[in-house]
Amino acid sequence: MLRKISRITTQKKQKHRYNIFLNTPTGDEYGFSVDEEILIKFRLEKGMELSDELIKTLKEQDTLHKVYTLTIHFLSYRIRSEKEVITYLQKKEVEEEQITVIMKRLKQEKLLDDQQFAEMFVRSRMNTSSKGPKVIEQELFEKGIGGQIVANALEQYTPALQKEKVQNLLRKKIKQSSKDSFQKQINQAKNTILQKGFNQQFVFEAIQTMDQEEDTDQEWEALKFQGEKLYHKHMKKYEDFQLKQKVMEGLYRKGFHFDMIQQFVEEYIENQE
């Protein structure tokens, strides 16, 4: 059955969409609406005859165009991975066949490229965060990207850049807790940096450098602070030799050097007796 287009009008609120009216025995009536792109693609005009099959195709094409426009809007905020786009469309309850068509078109138009996404993602994390390669790799995996694409993208994160970032993080962490022993600060910093996804060897090398930068005066002040706390904690329960042992054991567990601990006991505790 053929139906003739009786008139075409522009929608008031969406100027890029057009209402298609069709002839009927009782006059014209609204048939469907299409986007301007579909109107031009199929050269729709007044007097044109449409079969039921063509009308169905026009509606399907228009739905597909709506989904495409929606996806372009989603991509406008930032670059996305293929998995992110697919997940977004699935949440919008778009049919799988349509998702396949949309994904193919986006790739052809160079609007989706997982390699480019991975490279930009790594570059962004390198420049704006303290995350290491292992954490970044995991984040990319969660976005549906793995294998050689990730390996290629992570080449930007050179060993030299990683070492520099590890050293900066280590220095920053050491400065944050001057009340603790140098060794305790080092251990805490090491664990934090490893959790951020950096290579263990780079962390070890940075720590070796930091070991040479230990501030003896700062270490002594930290030891006195911790030692006095331990002394006042145990003095009500222990005395003499046992009190000294408890303080020394506590300071040793906190990472202080034995010779400094001995000096503190001699200068502080024995003077209290």
DSSP 213: T
Residues in Cβ contact with 130 at an 8 Å cutoff, skipping those fewer than 6 apart: 165, 169, 196
Rounded CA-CA distance 16/37 in Å is 8
Q: Output the CA–CA distances (angstroms, integers) from residue 98 to 33, 78, 106, 127, in the order listed.
A: 19, 23, 12, 37
Residue pair 44/8 in contact (Cβ under 8 Å)? The answer is yes
User: Residue 183: what residue type?
Assistant: Q
DSSP 231: H
User: Residue 147: what residue type?
Assistant: G
Output the pLDDT for position 171.
83
The pTM (predicted TM-score) of the whole model is 0.70
Output the pLDDT for position 88.
96
Residues in Cβ contact with 174 at an 8 Å cutoff, skipping those fewer than 6 apart: 182, 185, 186, 189, 210
pLDDT in 10s for each residue of the chain, 273 residues: 789 999 999 999 899 999 999 998 888 899 999 999 999 999 999 999 999 999 999 999 999 999 999 999 999 999 999 999 999 999 999 999 999 999 999 999 999 999 999 999 999 999 999 999 999 999 999 999 989 999 999 999 999 999 999 998 988 887 655 677 777 888 888 999 999 999 999 998 888 877 555 567 677 777 788 888 888 888 778 777 888 888 888 888 887 878 778 888 877 766 555
Residues in Cβ contact with 112 at an 8 Å cutoff, skipping those fewer than 6 apart: 75, 80, 82, 85, 103, 106
Residue pair 8/21 in contact (Cβ under 8 Å)? The answer is yes
**Quick one: tokens of 28?**
């014209």
Output the pLDDT for position 259.
78
Order the strands of the 17-24 sheet from edge to edge.
Answer: 27-35, 17-24, 2-10, 49-51
Residue with token string 């002594």: 220
Rounded CA-CA distance 99/87 in Å is 10
Rounded CA-CA distance 143/95 in Å is 21
Rounded CA-CA distance 242/238 in Å is 6
Rounded CA-CA distance 131/54 in Å is 54
